[in-house]
Amino acid sequence: MAEILLIGEYSAESPPHRATEAAIRHATASQQLSPTVRWISTAEVTPDRVRKATGVWIAPGSPYRDMQGALTAIRVAREEGIPCLGTCGGFQHMIIEYARNVLAFHDASHEEYDPYASRLFVSRLACSLVGRSLPLRFTAGSKVASIYNSTAATESYYCNFGVNPELVELFRQGPLRITGSDPEGEVRVFELPDHLFFIGTLFLPQTRSTESCPHPLVREFVRQACQ
């Protein structure tokens, strides 16, 4: 039985959380799939619990109750080939996990948790993206471009933090690929090319999903999780 874990601190009052649930319903119905979908607080994450899942979505809504719980879920999914999608806060924590455990910057930090940390891989954006919809460009030949069947899209945001532009070049030292950016060249999408599905987006694809037109990124994530 396929099981998708939604990692985060669920709130019925959160528009991104409601959109996440709706986008999964759209994706499952359109493909006649029926995975079990469960919200798991970051404080309840264990490696064994993640290993039992067939898909992991690191949901928006940071700061999380337990940052290490989120990083554990990401690491298990990355290392064991479990399809993993991170959106908004999920994207940001995937960056931190990768910086710490792949690039070996063990002090990689997130400004929302520790604004005075010495190595901020995730920092406050110069301009808030909350409530904004902006154009994107995807790298030709990338997994995300294939999923969209396009190298361009417009997506919506709900965040104030992103990849620290001063440290972007460090990501070129490992297998992670930056495959989506805004008109100014800021990082908005990354992926691991050799992973079944390991994609992070600073934007919220779930907010643009509808019953008649499921979002392609969510649809592909669900498909991979149910294979």
**Top-confidence residue, 131 or 85:** 85
CA atoms within 13 A on the CB side of 134: 23
Which amino acid, residue 220?
E
pTM, full prediction: 0.96
In 75-132, beta strands by DSSP E = 84-87, 109-110, 120-124
Of 158, 219, 163, 170, nearest to 189 by C-alpha is 163
Distance CA 163, CA 154 (A): 19
- Given pLDDT bands bounded at 50, 70 and 90, which one contains residue 139? very high
90 pLDDT band, cuts 50/70/90, is very high
pLDDT in tens, 44-75: 999 999 999 999 999 999 899 999 999 999 99
> Domain range for residue 167?
3-226
**What's the DSSP call for residue 64?**
P
Q: Give mean pLDDT, residues 92-113.
A: 97
pLDDT band at 114 (very low <50, low <70, confident <90, very high): very high
Count how many domains the chain has: 1
> Could you tell me the two tokens for 220?
């592909």
What is the CATH classification number for the domain harbouring 13? 3.40.50.880
Beta bridge partners of 181: 137, 187
